[in-house]
Structure formats: structure tokens, C-alpha cells
Amino acid sequence: MINSSYDFAEKNVNSSKDKISDYLIKQVSEIVKYELNNYEHKALHFWKYAMSEKNNNLGSLLDEDLKVIVCGDWCMNGKVEGGFLSAKDAAKKFIKYI
Ligand SMILES: Cc1cc2nc3c(=O)[nH]c(=O)nc-3n(C[C@H](O)[C@H](O)[C@H](O)COP(=O)(O)OP(=O)(O)OC[C@H]3O[C@@H](n4cnc5c(N)ncnc54)[C@H](O)[C@@H]3O)c2cc1C
């Protein structure tokens, strides 16, 4: 699997998929000094909506009446630490009900 940088993905989000994958395969072939064009399966995926434009700083969201709490990366940022921080915040709020 070849992962591009966020910058590269953002700059090329509207380019042709074949052009991008050919470019990435060529670059990595040169780096590893092995021709990678001999593949049986090729699929390019943009995680176009994976990153939100702005970071939220919600922690977690608690409905005191329903006793429901929601958390997740979307409460903070689209990364694993956002998911962790949101879950930590939820646990902190939740613990007083136990
Ligand atoms: C391809 C890819 C690459 C990534 N790379 C990185 C990276 O390099 N670095 C980084 O920091 N982050 C990366 N991320 C983001 C990271 O994976 C997420 O930010 C993180 O997993 C969010 O954690 P979460 O607990 O909020 O949500 P999730 O990990 O999505 O967990 C939600 C859970 O809820 C469950 N669920 C959903 N609906 C229900 C339901 N109705 N009932 C019960 N369970 C339900 C799901 O099955 C899932 O287990 C990547 C994500 C993807 C998709």
C-alpha cells in the first residue's frame, strides 16, 4: 500500500486517478529500486471527507436526562488521538453516575 502525504492528496484531489496512481507507483518504484508496475490489482482511494476543515473541541456530548453520552474522533479531530481524548472526556463525565 502506498500512502501519500496529506499535502499531496489535497493538491491532487481533482486530478485523474490513473495519473495519480501512475505517478505514485513510479516514485515508489524508483525509491525501492523495483518495478512495481506488475500488479494484479490497483485501487486508488481518496479519504476525501476523512479530515474535517476545522477541529472541534467538544470533548464528548452528554444528555443528562437521557443518560446518553456520545464520543468519537469527530468531537475533536479526525485522528486517533482525537478519538482517545473524546473517550477520556466521556469516561470522566460518565464516572460520576457509577
Ligand atoms: C484508512 C484510514 C487510515 C487512518 N490513518 C490514521 C493515521 O495514520 N493516524 C491517525 O491518527 N488516525 C488515522 N485514522 C483515523 C482513526 O482511525 C480514527 O480517528 C479513529 O479510529 C477514531 O476512533 P473512534 O473510536 O472515534 O471511532 P472508530 O474507530 O470508527 O470506532 C467506532 C466503533 O463504533 C462501532 N459502531 C458503529 N456504529 C455502531 C452501532 N450502531 N452500534 C455499536 N457499535 C457501532 C464501529 O464498529 C467501531 O468499532 C485513519 C482512518 C482510516 C479510515
DSSP string, 71-94: --GGGT-SSHHHHHHHHHHHHHHH
Question: Which helix or strand (DSSP H or E) is residue 62 part of?
Answer: strand 61-63
Mean pLDDT confidence for 56-71: 95
Q: Do 68 and 42 share a structural domain?
A: no
Measure 76 CA to ligand 1 centroid, in angstroms: 13
pLDDT band at 96 (very low <50, low <70, confident <90, very high): confident
Quote the domain boundaries for residue 24. 1-50
Q: Do 38 and 7 share a structural domain?
A: yes
pLDDT at 50: 77
Number of domains in the chain: 2
The C-alpha cell of 74 is what?
469527530
pLDDT at 53: 78
Collect all residues with Cβ–Cβ distance below 8 Å to 32 and sequence separation of at least 6. none
pLDDT at 44: 94
Mutate to test the pocket of ligand 1, among 73, 75, 76 (most ligand atoms within 8 A of CB): 73
Is pLDDT above 80 for 6? yes
Q: Is residue 56 part of a domain?
A: no
